[in-house]
Structure 1
Amino acid sequence: MSYRIFQMCKRCVMDTTDPDIIFDEQGICNHCKDFDIKFAKLPKTSFQESTFFQDSIKEIKDSTRGKDYNCILGLSGGTDSSFLAYLCKESGLKPLVVHFDNGWNTEFAIRNIENLVNKLNFELYTYVINWEEFKDLQLSYFRASVIDLEVPTDHLIFGALFKIAKKYKIHNILSGYNLTSEGTMPKAWLYEYKFDRANMKDIHKKFGTGKMSHLPTLGLWERTMYQKFYRFKQYHLLQTFYYDKIQAKKLLTEKFDWKDYGGKHFESVFTRFYQGYFLPQKFGIDKRKAHLSTLICAGQMTREDALAELQHPPYDPQLQKDDIEYVCKKWGISREEFDEIMKAPVRQHSEFHEELELEKKLHKLIQYVKPLIPSKLRNA
């Protein structure tokens, strides 16, 4: 096994805990350079002044004339999705707001969601996951000792959104992704192919104990049907103007009594545990470095402030202790089993079945078949 001398980027706070990081002669990392290339292509105006934003809104409205809903919006109660809900109201969109309840919401998240939908007068569709099956799936990932315990949630959120969108015949799906707060994340710190149901099923088969027949999983064929034939289109509206996360939080707090939950995606107890304890302890990864580096590159935080924040633990030690007890209780495992799994050797997601090669072949087939399918069938 090879070791690298520790090195931190001179501009951001990414370092050699990312095994693939590369530095130039000035000590600037590849993440900064990649961010700059992407950031240069984004508008630098407010959403009110951005023609890209206005054009997207017009396109959504024009494609849904006479419909009950213009689009579907997943709302977690966090900053990005909450600000996106505000933008919908400001722009005159009529979204079907969907909240994916996987059983791990914090009180902050619940209160934020209620305040937003009530004050914005939006209809809320709460998708409650089958807890026993979801718990077993999460536990299988934990017992497998793979890095990305968030795959079940990330995969099933989109599975639920796509199925609800199809049910209500909504073709426009809003995404809260944005470069200015999510533009830096090493591939080694997650599983890149979160939609890979084959990988999920194999992990669950080897480490789960029950079924997953009631979970809204997305297989390769279903995913392709949604994207290619049903013509679902995702809109990254936060990418169409200069999105300032700090200002977004201030606006949400003032207008909706929105409460900040601390870290990135800490509106979920599980994500707080995963990012604040599991990753640092088992994999030596502090995701704050990526989140803070993004803000530095976007000009929304100084490197000095980021370094000062990293001097503190990911979150309050007592809350961390409480979270571990809560996770064990909710999963139905003992603290002894929990500690044993935390000490177990790590595995790669690639050690389990993957559908990557099949996906490449299917895409070639789709390009050949799609022109032969009647438009009425594609729009059904």
Structure 2
Amino acid sequence: MQSELQVCNRCVMDSTDSKIVFDEHGVCDHCHSFDANVVPNWHTDAQGKEELKALVAKMKKDGEGREFDCIMGMSGGADSSYMLHVAVKEFGLRPLVFHVDGGWNSQVAVNNINVMIDKLGLDLYTEVINWEEMKDFQLTYFKSGLPNIDVPQDHAFIATLYNFAEKHEIKYILNGGNFSTECVRNPLEWLYHGSDLSQIKDLCKKFGTRPLKTYPFSSVLRHKIYLRYIRKVQVVKALNYFPYIKEDAMAFLQDEYGWQSYPQKHFESRFTKFYEGYWLPEKFGYDTRKVQFSSLILTGQMTRAKALEELAKPALTADDARQEFEYVATKLGITVGELQKYFDAPNKTYRDYKNQEALFRVGSKVLKLLGIERAVKR
């Protein structure tokens, strides 16, 4: 029950994260992880400015004689949209804007991508995922009873971007990911690794109904080790090098480009809106707004009181949830009753299927020891 939950006294993470640990002051380990691992390594001052300046100079030099000096995935969300503006207008980079269409774009997202591209005078490359394969893959996850049913979209986005970068020998991938709005990570039990091919293969064998012949797969070893260290493909999260205040960025995008905001982070996808706004909180009790709001609290962009006020309300109204439920069922070619059957089925965890959790843990420890990744709590 909600009254039995322990909520962090500093952020709004709570014991719906079964692995959460509180100190004697009621402050959680997500907050301590931020203090110990993010703050000391996050430079948005003069140091960050100089590091970014040097990085941009290298990107431009490596891009000499080429049509593009980097590639950037574009979802239409605030982070990627603002990153695109900064890359072009402030850094003078020449990105190829890359969009993966998994079949669930909202009209607002499509509009946001187009207004940015048009005003900046950029080229847009769109990769369309085979819908019949995507649909079957998504139904596989619904049948599995796992919480992380957005893996088919997420995996396709990442794999397609890396595949394109490798094929066209593009060495830099601009990424809108940032500490400012994402310093708290979703617990592993909520959103397990979407690049665990062992688990994906197990699920497809158990619940899939067709071979995924054209769907883009990429293993964690491929994009964490092979592409990064052998092919020298570098992911650049430029928003980490200077102050990034999301509310200010969205206001700027609205004024400058006619960009439109979303009710919640990740709602540029109709499926993700349904998944994070209804399916996760109602079926599993996992509300990703707690992670998002906690990040904003720790970075001084939201008060804890405001976060608690917002969390007291559902992410989607009852009418919106019903409409999205019907939309998703229709889009997937199933009845509302069948989707309800999946909702009512027993909940599973990633440990109920084959997985490479041990490999991920070892790899993460090695990368942390080498100083390549930060030990942010999941």
TM-score by length of 2: 0.90
Aligned partners of 2:189 and 2:349 also within 8 Å: no
In structure 2, distance between residues paired with 1:153 and 1:279 = 16
Please state if 1:32 is matched with 2:50: no
- What are the equivalent positions in structure 2 for 1:1-380 lying under 5 Å apart? 5-37=4-36, 38-45=38-45, 50-90=49-89, 91-219=91-219, 222-223=222-223, 224-355=225-356
Q: Distance in 1 between matches of 2:276 and 2:221?
A: 32
2-side partners of 1:348 and 1:311: how far apart? 26
| Amino acid corresponding to residue 53 of structure 1 in structure 2 | L
Give the superposition deviation at 1:78: 0.2
- 2:190–2:286: 8 Å Cα contact kept in structure 1? no
Letter in 1 for 2:106: T
Instruction: Say which is worse superposed, 213-222 or 283-292, in terms of deviation.
Output: 213-222
Change (3 A) 1:146 1:170: same
> CA 1:186/1:76 → structure 2, altered by over 3 Å: closer, same or farther?
closer
The answer as to whether partners of 1:56 and 1:237 remain within 8 angstroms in 2 is no
Cα shift at 1:40: 3.6
Q: Is the 8 A contact 1:71 1:95 kept in 2?
A: yes
Structure 1 position 353, deviation (Å): 2.4
Which of 10-19 and 60-69 deviates more? 60-69
State the alpha-carbon separation in 2 of the partners of residues 95 and 354 from structure 1: 36
> Does structure 2 retain, via aligned residues, the 8 Å contact 1:191–1:349?
no
- Give unmatched runs, 5+ long, in structure 1: 364-380
* Count of aligned positions: 360
Q: What's the Cα RMSD here? A: 2.2
Deviation of 1:164 (Å): 1.2
CA distance in 1, matches of 2:290, 2:360: 33
- How much has 1:4 moved relative to structure 2? 11
Which residues of structure 2 form unaligned runs of 5+?
A: 365-378
- Return the offset for 1:317: 2.5
Secondary structure of 1:76's aligned partner: coil
State whether residues 46 and 242 of structure 1, in contact with CA within 8 Å, keep that contact through their aligned partners in structure 2.
no
Which one-letter code corresponds to 1:227 in the other structure? Answer: R
| 1:369 matched residue in structure 2 | none
Distance 2:177 2:300 in 1: 18
CA distance in structure 1 between the partners assigned to 2:312 and 2:361 by the alignment? 44
8 Å Cα contact 1:42-1:242 kept in structure 2: no
State the alpha-carbon separation in 1 of the partners of residues 219 and 27 from structure 2.
40
Task: Quote the offset at 1:316 in angstroms.
Answer: 3.0
| 2:255 maps to amino acid | E
| Identity percentage of aligned residues | 37
Deviation per residue, 1:286-331 (Å, 9 max, x gap): 1111111110110001111111111221023222211110100011
Q: Distance in 1 between matches of 2:339 and 2:245?
A: 39
C-alpha spacing 1:293/1:360, structure 2 compared with 1 (3 Å): closer
Rounded to whole Å, the distance in 1 between the matches of 2:316 and 2:221 is 41
Q: Which residue of 1 aligns with 2:373?
A: none
Q: Name which of structure 1's ranges 287-296 and 314-323 shifts more when overlaid on structure 2.
A: 314-323
Secondary structure of 1:83's counterpart equals helix
Q: Are the structure 2 counterparts of residues 229 and 299 from structure 1 closer, same or farther at C-alpha, using a change threshold of 3 Å?
A: same
